[in-house]
Amino acid sequence: MEAMEIDAEKNLQRKQSTYLSLDETFEIQKETYRGQQYSQIYFARLHLMRTLLYSLVPHWKSHLKVCTVLGLEEEKECIIVGTLYKHMKLKPCILDEYSKERSAVPLVKPHNFLHLDDHLVLEDESGRVKLGGDMLSPSSYVTGVVVALHGKETGSGDFLVLDVLEAGLPPQIELPLQSREDKYVVFVSGLNVGSSTSNPLQFQLLVDHITGHLGDEKEQGIASQIVHVVIAGNSVEIPSGLLNGQNLASKDQSRLSEPVKELDILLSQIAAGVPLDIMPGPNDPANFSLPQQPLHRCLFPGSAAYNTFRSCTNPHCFELDNIRFLGTSGQNIDDLEKYSEAKDKLEFMERTLKWRHLAPTAPNTLGCYPFTDRDPFLIESCPHVYFVGNQDKYGTRELRGSEGQLVRLLSIPKFCETGVAVMLNMKSLECHTLSFGTQFGS
């Protein structure tokens, strides 16, 4: 499609940046399933968050006593810290598969599981108490969030909430001095190579753009400023019927590995020129529960040969020129959408930062490894860029914290459906989209 003329005088040099991976916390090394349960991750979460919240309470309401759920006294105002649990009427239940009579009339499937009767409960190691009052709206909170509450126990045994304290944005490392240069990071997600909706040409155009094989000099100039590419999940789609554990005919064997091969070819084109991070997503050949472990290198015999190719965990955390990036392939936000409400996806993202927890609904409704002594999803340090992949549409916003933290929120659309990738300028943390269309005007 392109005539590639390389002009020796105008030889463009791709810019570089320093990269530091911070994925270690999301890696599951020696941990195995030895019969541990989920109580421990909640315990670890509560323990860490409580220490944090206790340190904030004196600045919030120093005159009030802090107690545990058990220590509550009727009609006496105090502060309690605990994990929220949302009691939901419509929440799907695995027991229904067995015990419920099959209903004769199929139910209309709602877009989320909220119901007016939902209510919140606060739990600590000592017990549970039902929360009342209008301060804490059940529709915006989910199970697993740790908060401090100011209120009092009423005669009926409920806790009337008068005020809420969330942990708020974590402290942020100072943004490095603004460099004068424009440097770009490209985010893309939902390539879905192998699915019926993916268009190979679109992806090829993206690759060509990144690698500088597309457009005029100006375009190429911009391409040369791309210092990093992040693929945020759902890169391939493997036909599901083929994985039921039986031996496959050779025809099916190739159908299975074909999309992976195709992806490998395209990725090796990128990796040849630009450093590339690939994160696993819900549809990728990776494990299901969070944190998802890196896609196996044997899937990418071609691109894995480059040292610019990095297979990463999901969630993924790294630093580029000391700018901190944190992101997921979208599961955490999608799950919040099923069990709570907000005006847009960016608001969900904002909440997770304020709760200091990437995925509060794990393990309750979001699959998660049963950690025993830690909760890797706690956000200890505030990122400068917080991105989420596989969303319906592109969106971005700047979020400012009370202590001057500045975060760029970024929701990355599915590429196979929208043809959109996102460019982030590291100089200003501004974003713009790259749209690829293959529809030619007729």
Partner 1 sequence: MNRNGNTRKRPLPTSQPTPSPPAAKQQATTPAVDDEFVDEDVFLDETLIAEDEENLILRDMEERQALASRLAKWSRPSLSHEYTSQSRSILFQQLEIDYVIGESHKGLLPDRSGMAAIIRIFGVTREGHSVCCLVHGFEPYFYISCPPGMGPDDISRFQQILEGRMREMNRNSKVPKFVRRIEMVQKRSIMYYQQQPSHPFLKIVVALPTMVASCRGILDKGIHIDGLGMKSFMTYESNVLFALRFMIDCNIVGGNWIEVPVEKYKKTSKNLSYCQLEFDCLYSELISHAPEGEFSKMAPFRILSFDIECAGRKGHFPEPTHDPVIQVANLVTLQGEDQPFIRNVMTLNSCSPIVGVDVMSFVTERDVLLAWRDFIREVDPDIIIGYNICKFDLPYLIERAETLGIAEFPLLGRVRNSRVRVKDTTFSSRQYGTRESKEVTLEGRVQFDLLQAMQRDYKLSSYSLNSVSAHFLSEQKEDVHHSIISDLHNGNAETRRRLAVYCLKDAYLPQRLLDKLMFIYNYVEMARVTGVPLSFLLSRGQSIKVLSQLLRKSKQKNLVIPNVKQAGSEQGTYEGATVLEARAGFYEKPIATLDFASLYPSIMMAYNLCYCTLVTPEDVRKLNIPPECVNRTPSGETFVKSNLQKGILPEILEELLAARRRAKADLKEAKDPLVKAVLDGRQLALKVSANSVYGFTGATIGQLPCIEISSSVTSYGRQMIEHTKKLVEEKFTIIGGYEQNAEVIYGDTDSVMVQFGMPTVTEAMKLGREAAEYISGTFIKPIKLEFEKVYYPYLLISKKRYAGLFWTNPDKFDKMDTKGIETVRRDNCLLVKNLVNECLHKILIDRDVPGAVQYVKNTISDLLMNRMDLSLLVITKGLTKTGDDYEVKAAHVELAERMRKRDAATAPNVGDRVPYVIIKAAKGAKAYERSEDPIYVLENNIPIDPQYYLENQISKPLLRIFEPILKNASKELLHGSHTRSISISTPSNSGIMKFAKKQLSCIGCKALISNSDRTLCSHCKGREAELYCKTVSQVSELELLFGRLWTQCQECQGSLHQDVLCTSRDCPIFYRRKKAQKDMAEAKRQLDRWNF
Query: How near is the Cβ of 13 to partner 1 at its closest, in Å?
Result: 35
Least distance from C-beta 83 to partner 1, angstroms? 6
441: tokens are 């005007």
* Length of the chain (residues): 442
**Smallest gap from residue 93 Cβ to partner 1 (A):** 7
- Closest approach of Cβ 168 to partner 1, in Å? 23
Closest approach, Cβ 240 to partner 1, in A, equals 8
Q: 22 is written with which tokens?
A: 């911070």
Backbone φ, ψ for residue 305 (5° rounding): -70, -25
What are phi and psi for residue 384, nearest 5 degrees? -90, -30
Whole-angstrom distance, CA of residue 80 vs CA of residue 98: 38
Taking CB under 8 A as the rule, does residue 262 contact partner 1?
Answer: no
* Beta-carbon contacts of residue 141 (< 8 Å; ≥ 6 apart): 84, 86, 120, 147, 340
Asked if 83 interacts with partner 1 (CB under 8 A), we say yes
CA 349 from chain center: how many Å? 8
Query: Distances in Å between the alpha carbon of 161 and those of 74, 80, 87, 88, 152?
Result: 13, 10, 17, 19, 7
DSSP secondary structure, 363-402, as one string = TTTS-B---SS--TTB--SB-SEEEEEEESS-EEEEEE-T
In whole angstroms, the minimum distance from the beta carbon of 207 to partner 1 comes to 20
Residues 357 and 377: their CA atoms lie apart, in Å, by 6
Using CA atoms, how far apart are residues 144 and 147, in angstroms rounded to an integer? 10
CB closer to partner 1 out of 273 and 294 = 294
Nearer to partner 1, 61 or 255 (CB): 255
Among positions 295-354, residues that touch partner 1 (CB under 8 A) are: 296, 298-299, 301
**Which residue lies nearer to partner 1 by CB, 289 or 425?**
289
Which part of the chain contacts partner 1 (CB under 8 A), choosing from 169-177, 194-202, 237-245, 268-276? 237-245
- Applying CB under 8 A, among 20, 175, 201, 248 the residue interacting with partner 1 is 248
94 binds partner 1 per the rule CB under 8 A: yes
* Binding-site member from 20, 175, 243, 305 for partner 1 (CB under 8 A): 243
* Closer of 358 and 385 to partner 1 (Cβ): 358
Give me the residues that bind partner 1 (CB under 8 A), please: 32-35, 37-39, 42-43, 46, 69-70, 72, 83, 85, 93-95, 97-99, 101-102, 104, 123-129, 143-144, 157, 238, 243, 245, 248, 253, 256-257, 260-261, 285-289, 296, 298-299, 301, 363-370
